[in-house]
């Protein structure tokens, strides 16, 4: 954190979504923030809708999450989590040594481009795409790709408590959240990755983020 007082960050999110990653990172960071519940389930007339013109001015895709820091507007959950990690280096969410950063980038990229894609593909063909674009055959493709991605992850990780650096980092947030998502979407998640999810979700910051999620959902 810099010497000057940090802005009150604004996180626009719908917590049963990738927004949870950003909310969790904020809780870990200790930075002051406000969570603005942004619904994906309402049309553009509703003020808190991700399709409202005011929100679309921040996030052209009408997706969550979006982080606002003063004049800066950041979209994409990975970019947001990395921004938070850099803003609060004392929280240790991102390493600084070049070798550790290479591992961080490798795993972050793997989660976003390989591990979560089958989950999102299933979601798209289940509810997100316009009905005429949905292909039920994609469910089997998604399961096939998920199993392949999990086997590839096995090769990238060892049995350590944390993914990298022998301590908690944002990679653990991405992995735990993605395995939680996979279980919710009824993919086969190996027990060791459910245990990983449970271990990291037991952290006070994750519990606080989950409490916000429960509150927003009620």
The dihedrals phi and psi of 155, each to the nearest 5 degrees, come to -75, -20
The Cα 154–Cα 211 span in angstroms is 31
Among 1, 8, 97, 128, binds ligand GSH (CB under 6 A): 128
36 is a site residue for ligand GSH (CB under 6 A): no
C-beta closer to ligand GSH: residue 199 or 201: 201
- Residues in 151-180 at the binding interface with ligand GSH, rule: CB under 6 A: none
Considering the complex, state which of residue 53 and residue 195 has its C-beta at the smaller distance from ligand GSH.
53
- Distance set, CA 170 to CA 9, 21, 92, 132 (Å): 18, 9, 9, 37
Q: What is the largest CA-CA distance in the chain?
A: 54
Closer CB to ligand GSH, residue 117 or residue 143? 117
The count of residues interacting with ligand GSH (CB under 6 A) is 11
String marking each residue 88-127 x if it binds ligand GSH according to CB under 6 A: ----------------------------------------
Q: How many beta carbons lie within 10 A of that of residue 143, not counting itself?
A: 15
Q: How far is CA 119 from CA 32, 154, 177, in A?
A: 32, 18, 12
Q: Return d(Cα 63, Cα 185) in angstroms, integer.
A: 19
- Applying CB under 6 A, among 49, 77, 169, 180 the residue interacting with ligand GSH is 77
Binding interface with ligand GSH (CB under 6 A): 17-18, 40, 50, 62-65, 76-77, 128
């Amino acid at each position: 954190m810099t010497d000057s007082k940090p802005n009150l960050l604004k996180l626009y999110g719908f917590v049963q979504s990738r927004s949870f990653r950003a909310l969790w990172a904020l809780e870990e960071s200790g930075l002051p923030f406000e969570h603005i519940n942004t619904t994906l389930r309402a049309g553009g007339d509703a003020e808190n809708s991700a399709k409202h013109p005011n929100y679309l001015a921040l996030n052209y895709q009408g997706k969550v999450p979006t982080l606002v820091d003063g004049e800066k507007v950041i979209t994409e959950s990975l970019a947001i989590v990395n921004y938070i990690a850099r803003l609060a280096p004392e929280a240790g969410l991102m390493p600084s040594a070049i070798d550790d950063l290479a591992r961080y980038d490798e795993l972050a990229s793997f989660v976003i481009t390989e591990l979560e894609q089958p989950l999102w593909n299933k979601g798209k063909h289940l509810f997100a795409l316009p009905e005429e674009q949905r292909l039920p055959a994609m469910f089997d493709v998604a399961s096939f790709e998920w199993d392949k991605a999990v086997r590839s992850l096995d090769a990238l990780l060892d049995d350590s408590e944390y993914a990298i650096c022998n301590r908690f980092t944002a990679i653990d947030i991405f992995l735990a959240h993605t395995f939680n998502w996979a279980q919710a979407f009824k993919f086969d998640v190996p027990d060791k990755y459910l245990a990983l999810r449970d271990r990291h979700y037991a952290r006070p910051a994750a519990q606080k983020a989950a409490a916000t999620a429960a509150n927003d959902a009620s």
